[in-house]
Structure 1
Amino acid sequence: MRTIVFVNIFLCLIGLSFCGAAQQDSINRLPNWAFGGFVRPKSTINPVISPKATSLFYDSLLGKNIGWESNDTFNPAAVVINGKVVLLYRAEDKSGIGIGFRTSRLGYAESSDGLHFQRSKTPVLYPANDSQKQYEWPGGCEDPRLAVTSNGTYVVFYTQWNRDVPRLGVATSKDLKHWTKHGPIFEDAYNGKFLNIPHKSASIVTQLVNNKQVIAKIKGKYWMYWGELHVYAAISTNLVDWQPLLNADGTLKELMSPRKGYFDSELTECGPPAILTSKGIVLLYNGKNKSGVDGDRRFNENSYCAGQALFQNDDPTAFITRLDVPFLRPRETFEKSGQYVNGTVFIEGMAYFHHKWFLYYGCADSRVAVAVYNPAKLALPDPIY
């Protein structure tokens, strides 16, 4: 009997040892250049924005009232104005079936604490009978990224979707409600060479100045990262007209690409505005996991998770490193149910507010949620498993 007891104790200790090792292996730790971990608030906060069937908007192109945010609300941009966080979020109506076949408009929401939002009843940026109709109708205005200059000019980069070719458009504002559209950002570059080539997802480089996140200049120019499959770069002197960076043979210069066997094996799509720091330029991006043997089997096939990459601060084209596992991945029910059931945390908006970083993201292409990084109270990122 004594022998059996000792054997049982020994086996239990071995089991505990293995359990501890498995638990240790699941811990995700960030390098000192990365942002995070980002912590989701208590469950009663998220999602912070969900579809709303009662919001009506008179669409002059259709000549009738439509439920402009009745089907889905997701993929938000974020910025701070007058002591409040403002989100511009993508809202879809019920005009079609499936992702990309409805009309998208950008809604406006503001918050005094970054967690509870009041929404405008009508969208603030949308397709209309204007100079951009050929690029924005009938698909609409999608997936914004938002930043502000040091003199208070707000700049939004968004996808103009006419259901033929997606293009990056740009608009400017002083109050985030009244916008001037300037059209496709590559319209004039290289005699329009890239105007009709699909392009989306712009992450302009910003920096903290006196505790305010503003658009930065590097060697006298504005810089952005952009791209869905690969990460590219572009430069500008006026924030409206942008010039993609090219190789000697005239092809787009790829700065970062998908990796076989990792969470970003299918896509490396640029997220919220990049941030210039003392350690380099940090680009937060969205990685899509490829199905099959080329993907990372630790994460769902075709899921979108959030990664970070580091570029040289005096040369934004010089890639240094990136995370091998995501810092944010689909875990909550609302991040895995909706239009995109494989799971999506699609990051597009991040605001520096009350000395914390508030990260806003689309959940399964259906809702908006928030996670918060407090540099004064460090936390771990999402676990690996």
Structure 2
Amino acid sequence: MKIFSLIIKYTLTLLLLTGYSFAQENRLPAWALGGFERASDINPIISPDSTTRFFDPVLKKYVGWESNDTFNPGAALYKGKVIVLYRSEDKSGVGIGYRTSRLGYAASSDGLHFKRDKAPVFYPANDDQKKYEWPGGCEDPRVAVTVNGTYVIFYTQWNRETPRLGVATSKDLKHWTKHGPIFEDAYKGKFLNIPHKSASILTKIENGRQVVVKVKGKYWMYWGELHVYAATSTNLVDWKPVINTDGTLKELFSPRKGYFDSELTECGPPAIMTNKGIVLLYNGKNKSGEDGDKRFTPNTYCAGQALFDSQDPLNFITRLDVPFMRPMASFEKSGQYPAGTVFLEGMVYFKKKWFLYYGAADSRVCVAVYDPTHPSAPDAIN
């Protein structure tokens, strides 16, 4: 027995001296959702396709609209199927933000295996939004549905000058009516021309369906990339950012020095009203250098969760100190964002489980599933 103990001790010492690190257990608090388990053997569920062609109404020619990258998906249920609207990039430029983005449509009966349409269902065109959407396109959708079956999509309008949040509505997730920038009229257009993106509208499970919900007679959303802000609406189309008494945007929470979200706190899928409070899943970017979290790769995007008061959506309570998901699989760390990305944008309540759809390395679409009756462990800390 003594010899066996000495062997174990020697082995552990050798592993530590050679730089081997042991995975640290990660536990979620009672209010958080998860853990989510990546679907085995099927990820990525959507990858670039160089064979599909689309006649672009602006260029007036056929383009390989999803030939370079497919990533950052929104998701919703329609007639018993999971619909994923994913961002697709063509090969019109070099580097993130310098190609044209359009939104593809994919449907699934089980939430795991998808059939894709051959043409995008949402894209820049010769319409009244062209000045906001061309040539960069329509990016990073978040999708939700009202009780009466109206779908609302919040997306980034990217003209390669200023990113803006745009909004559109639909009854079938294929035919959309664009309504323009969400802050166009608020405060006489004060926030129209500031960079703004990433909107997570507040939802709730009602009668087994995830639907948009009001608090105190208003729709609410969280939005923002650098900080997390809020906005309200009475009609889903025109939104007013929540501001301080001096007219500046009210920051609800911000990046933290020394944590996985030390550079950015970017809102993810629609926020969820639960019996513990409002849970917001968000994307945290780890800063390089001394201000970042040394346990995680510099510049990597990991997944966080924050909790707000269900009676007061502005009352921020707490957030996770370590991510519940981080880039681990090879396809989450290789692509046009090699530092690594699990970028959350779509989540649906389907068959009494939560299906989370995310972008991997800004190149592919993946899925992870949370079963409340049999939750998986969150990703290990290192």
TM category (shorter chain) comes to over 0.9
Q: SS of 1:326's equivalent?
A: coil
2:88 matches 1:91:
yes
What is the one-letter code of the residue matched to 1:370?
V
What is the rounded CA distance, in whole Å, between the counterparts of 1:249 and 1:68 in structure 2? 45
1:72-83 map, 5 Å: 72-83=69-80
Question: Which letter maps to 1:42?
Answer: S
**How far off its partner does 1:13 sit?**
4.9
Matched, 1:282 2:294: no
Counterpart pick for 2:358 among 358, 361, 384: 361
Map 1:121-132; keep pairs closer than 5 Å. Answer: 121-132=118-129
1:24 & 1:163 partners in 2: Cα distance?
A: 44
Provide the C-alpha distance between the structure 1 equivalents of 2:125 and 2:243, rounded to a whole number of angstroms.
Answer: 34
Post-superposition Cα deviations, 1:234-260, rounded to whole Å, max 9, x if no partner, equal 000000000000011110000010000
1:185-200 alignment runs, 5 A limit: 185-200=182-197
Q: Partner residue of 2:263?
A: 266
Runs of 4+ in 1 over 2 A off after TM superposition: 8-19, 22-25
Q: Deviations over 1:43-92 (max 9, x none)?
A: 2x100000000110001110100000000000000001111000010000
Aligned to 1:236: 233
Structure 2 residue 206 is the aligned partner of structure 1 residue 212: no
Instruction: Determine the C-alpha separation between the residues in 2 that align with 1:220 and 1:311.
Output: 18
CA positional deviation for 1:9 = 3.4
- Structure 1 equivalent of residue 218 of structure 2: 221
Which residue of 168, 171, 179 maps to 2:176? 179
The match for 2:148 among 148, 151, 166 is 151
RMSD over equivalenced CA pairs, Å: 1.6
**Cα distance in structure 2, aligned partners of 1:148 and 1:135:** 25
Looking at structure 2, the residues matched to 10 and 112 of structure 1 have their Cα atoms a distance apart, in angstroms, of: 53
C-alpha distance in 2 between matches for 1:207 and 1:273: 9
- Residues 1:346 and 2:361 aligned together: no
Distance in 1 between residues matched to 2:300 and 2:293, nearest whole Å: 10
The structural deviation recorded for 1:278 is: 1.1
Specify the alignment match of 1:31 in structure 2.
29
Q: Partners of 2:5 and 2:52 in 1: how far apart?
A: 64
Q: Specify the alignment match of 2:6 in structure 1.
A: 11
Report if the CA contact (8 A) 2:23-2:380 is conserved: no
The one-letter amino acid paired with 2:334 is: S
What TM-score, normalized by structure 2, do the two folds share? 0.97
Question: Which residue of structure 2 lines up, in the alignment, with residue 374 of structure 1?
Answer: 371
For 2:36 and 2:332, how far apart are their aligned partners in 1?
A: 15
Query: Is 2:126 the counterpart of 1:104?
Result: no
Q: Distance in 2 between matches of 1:57 and 1:77?
A: 21
Q: Structure 1: which 5+ residue stretches go unaligned? A: none
3-state DSSP of counterpart to 2:315: strand
Residue by residue over 1:160-217, the C-alpha shift from the partner in whole angstroms, topping out at 9 and shown as x without a partner, is 0000000000000000000000000000000000000000000000000011000010
Paired residue for 2:40?
A: 42
Question: What SS does the aligned partner of 2:131 have?
Answer: helix
Tell me the secondary structure at the aligned position of residue 7 of structure 2.
helix
Q: Aligned partner of 2:329: which letter?
A: E
Structure 2 CA distance for aligned equivalents of residues 16 and 248 of structure 1: 62
**SS of 1:135 mapped into structure 2:** helix
1:94-139 CA distances to partner (integer Å, 9 max, x unpaired)? 0000000000000100000000000111111100000100000000
Q: CA shift at 1:330, angstroms?
A: 0.3
Structure 1 residue corresponding to 2:58, chosen from 54, 58, 61? 61
Post-superposition shift, 1:16? 7.9
- Residue 106 of structure 2 aligns to which amino acid in structure 1? A
Q: Secondary structure at the match of 2:355?
A: strand
C-alpha deviation, 1:12, in angstroms:
3.3
Find out whether 1:334 has 2:331 as its counterpart. yes
Q: CA deviation at 1:11?
A: 2.5
Aligned residue in 2 for 1:115: 112
Per the alignment, in what secondary structure is the counterpart of residue 11 of structure 1?
helix
SS where residue 334 of structure 1 aligns?
A: helix
Q: Is the 8 A contact 2:44 2:365 kept in 1?
A: yes
**In structure 1, how many angstroms separate the alpha carbons of the residues matched to 2:277 and 2:354?**
18
SS of equivalent residue, structure 2 residue 328:
coil
Structure 2 residues not aligned, in runs of 5+? none
- Distance in 1 of aligned mates of 2:269 and 2:333: 21
Q: Counterpart of 1:282 in structure 2: which amino acid?
A: V
- Partners of 1:70 and 1:115 lie apart in 2 by 22
Alpha-carbon distance, 1:15 to partner: 5.7
Residues in 2 aligned to 1:24 and 1:52: alpha-carbon distance in whole angstroms:
39
Please state whether the residue corresponding to 2:217 is helix, strand or coil: coil
Q: Measure how far apart 1:42 and its partner are.
A: 1.2
Please give the alpha-carbon distance, in whole angstroms, between the structure 2 residues aligned to 1:377 and 1:181: 40
Q: Which one of 134, 137, 140 corresponds to residue 140 of structure 1?
A: 137
Per the TM alignment, residue 23 of structure 1 is displaced from its structure 2 partner at its CA by: 8.7
